[in-house]
Amino acid sequence: MSAREFNFDGLVGPTHNHAGLSFGNVASASNSNSIANPRAAALQGLAKMHALAQRGFAQALLPPQKRPDFGLLRAAGFYGTDADLLAKAQREAPVLLAAAWSASPMWTANAATVSPAADTADGRTHFTVANLNSKLHRSREHRQTLRTLQAIFSDPAHFAVHAALPGTPAFGDEGAANHGRLCADHGTPGVELFVYGRSEFDASVGAPSRFPARQTLEAGQAIARRHLLAPERVVHLHQNPEVIDQGVFHNDVISVTNGRVLFYHEAAFADEAGSLARLHAAIAPLGAALQPVRVPASAVSVADAVGSYLFNSQLLSRADGGMTLVIPRECEENAAVAAYLRTLLDSGGPIDELLSFDLRQSMRNGGGPACLRLRVVLTDAQAAAMHQGVLLTAALHARLVAWVERHYRDRLSPADLADPALVAEVDAALDALADILGLPSLYHLAPDEETGPPSPP
């Protein structure tokens, strides 16, 4: 079966801000309460999408979500008019207010876990929306994510879009950020790799002590069952708890897969040799050999990996057979990482090209090139069956740049989050976007059941 990998990048929403909401994510904490530039953030993301599309990579996007999330504020006991809610929340609970405005759905690597048709028993592409229940602001994303994915991948003959796992600690799930795939070719069966930071029920699995492990073993097991994966082509690997404690809050901050290649830091997994042996064994029956590209700590420390986001790069197969590593600018600015990258290109290994992008706005919240995209392998028939309005053509890129320039602020501070004018601005922007993407009912969500009455009884 011939298939291509599409990257669905998150279009950065108009309320991108730096609120420090993600304990365990070093960049989020260190830029807390600084002033953000949503316009620049969205344009930086669009520039990356456009450049990759121009080079022939299959590129699409996932739209932002409606904010603020008044349902969250009502669920937290605030009532009154929209303006009352914003003012009261800013006075009494500014963290909740920031959570309600978060543009975090931009990091679409956390939107869902995706299993291509070649891996599933029913020959459909399966998606499980991530519950993201480790962080309050992110736990609110899954309802709209489900709606969005169902709108884009609506044909049940080709796609199965599953709702999020129950939002309980046993099923902590952060989507594709902790998932990888190894294969000879995107269209042939692959080995799916689920990386977990802790287990709810197996006390022998070590957990980090300083920062939370967001992904559980039990979530990966449930998704593998839901997606009808062959057990012999599923590998669950334990992430090294020590790196989580150093700021590796998702596995995609310390390793990435593509084709037969596993690009990883030597400290990524709890048991490096055992993990590699299991991957070798799982991929061998597919007639392919694993190609590990191991980065030793002597070349790049975990701190440098976290600071530069070297592993949060996109590893892309080119039509000419080579592989391109899409890195954030920060990699070129870190002396150790820049030196390592020079040796990588000279090594004669599978990675033979670097492309670097300025994604500083997203990076300041701990989101690099790989966080900003969800990989979806599609056959030609599936690509034709999905909603076409989200494919990034040059014309769509130009329309979106103009849309951002018209609707986005170039400055957003915590104080601005109580401004009722921002609510109207975002509504106007998203109405226009739904038209541009040809998804008119995208934001017509039923009110949350949990929000309760808008004022006290």
| Contacts to ligand SUG by CB under 6 A | 18-22, 25, 28, 102, 104, 107, 109-110, 135, 138, 177, 249-250, 252-253, 365-367, 371
Q: Other CB atoms closer than 10 Å to residue 36's CB: what's the count?
A: 25
Q: Which is closer to ligand SUG, CB of 174 or CB of 218?
A: 174
Place of tokens 């998702």: 250
Whose Cβ is closer to ligand SUG: residue 33's or residue 388's?
Answer: 33
If the CB atoms of residues 22 and 324 are measured against ligand SUG, the closer one turns out to be: 22
Please give the helix or strand (H or E) that residue 87 lies within, else none. Answer: helix 82-92
Contact between residue 71 and residue 451 where contact means Cβ atoms under 8 Å apart = yes
Q: How far is the CB of 331 from ligand SUG (least distance, A)?
A: 15
Look at residues 41, 82, 31 and name the one whose alpha carbon lies nearest to residue 414.
31
DSSP class of residue 369 equals: T
Residues forming the active site:
174, 250, 371
Min. distance of Cβ 133 from ligand SUG in angstroms?
Answer: 12
Helix (H, G, I), strand (E, B) or coil at 269: strand
Beta carbon of residue 337, minimum distance to ligand SUG (angstroms, whole number): 17
Minimum Å distance from CB 394 to ligand SUG?
A: 27
**What is the amino acid identity at position 355?**
L
For ligand SUG, give the closer residue by CB, 19 or 151: 19
273 contact partners, CB below 8 Å, separation of at least 6: none
Q: State the first-to-last Cα distance of the chain, in angstroms, to the nearest integer.
A: 59
- Other CB atoms within 10 Å distance of the CB of residue 450: 9
Nearest C-alpha neighbor of 243 from the set 40, 24, 23:
24
Return the number of the residue (215 or 379) whose C-beta is nearest ligand SUG. 215
Shortest approach of ligand SUG to residue 456 CB, angstroms? 30
Shortest separation between residue 247's beta carbon and ligand SUG, angstroms:
10
Structure token pair of residue 399: 């329309």
Instruction: Using the minimum distance from each CB to ligand SUG, give the nearer residue, 237 or 283.
Output: 237
d(CA 70, CA 148): 19
- Residue 251's nearest CA partner among 262, 260, 259 is 262
Tokens at 440, concatenated: 């008119």
Residue 47 CA to residue 50 CA, distance in Å, equals 5
CB 128 within 8 A of CB 162: yes
By DSSP bridging, strand 112-115 and strand 125-129 are antiparallel
Cβ closer to ligand SUG: 28 or 334?
28
What distance in Å separates the CA atoms of residue 56 and residue 52, rounded to the nearest whole number?
Answer: 7
CB of 178: closest distance to ligand SUG in angstroms?
8
Backbone φ and ψ for 375, nearest 5 degrees, come out as -85, 130
